[in-house]
Amino acid sequence: MGVVNERLTRLWSGPQGWVKAARMGGESTQMTVEEGKTVLTFPIPAVSGGIMKVTLSGRYQAERVETRVGNDVTEWTYSDYGDYNDEGDKLDAFFAGRIIEKRGDVTTLDLTIVRTDISNTYIVMPVPRSVR
């Protein structure tokens, strides 16, 4: 349990996780514009006192995620979004091709994504009344 806040923060800070976290923030989610970019600020779900700030690209993909939990500040940058599935499984399901994590001036993670396997995407389609 000693690392639960860190793990929850990592879960919600991912290039897709922040979307659900922002929605869960409800009325606590604030949207502003900083230097011409949309910025969302909201509480981190289930992390007492945790705050997340997400800067979006023009395509509404996370470019920068900053989290604050107590005195701990972590920054993730996401770039090079693309469909990294195999050629026969392309879905236009974009994922960040570069992920960098920093704590202060120290880079703690620097990943380059070369392949994903997200071809089994769960798609929700409402059943039309005429079919029910």
SS3 of residue 52 by DSSP = strand
Q: What angle do CA 33, 113, 24 make, to 5 degrees?
A: 40
Q: Inform me whether the pLDDT recorded for 131 exceeds 70.
A: yes
Sorted by sequence, the CB contacts under 8 Å of residue 90 that are 6+ apart come out as: 83
Q: Give the whole-angstrom CA distance, residue 59 versus residue 78.
A: 13
* Residue 60, in any domain of the structure: yes
Q: Would residue 118 count as lying in a domain?
A: no
Examine residue 49 and state whether it is found in any structural domain, yes or no: yes
Q: Is residue 130 part of a domain?
A: no
Question: Domain of 41?
Answer: 4-112
Count of structural domains, the chain: 1
Does a structural domain hold residue 34? yes
Flag whether pLDDT at 1 surpasses 80.
Answer: no
Burial degree of 110 (CB within 10 A; 0-12, 13-18, 19+): exposed
* Residue 66 falls inside a structural domain: yes
- Determine, yes or no, domain membership for 18: yes
Task: Please tell me the pTM assigned to this model.
Answer: 0.85
Instruction: Let me know if residue 120 belongs to a domain.
Output: no
Summarised one tens digit per residue, pLDDT across range 84-124 is 998 888 888 889 999 999 998 999 999 999 999 876 666 67
What is the per-residue pLDDT across 13-49, written as a single tens digit (0 to 9) for each?
A: 998 899 999 999 999 999 999 999 999 999 999 999 9
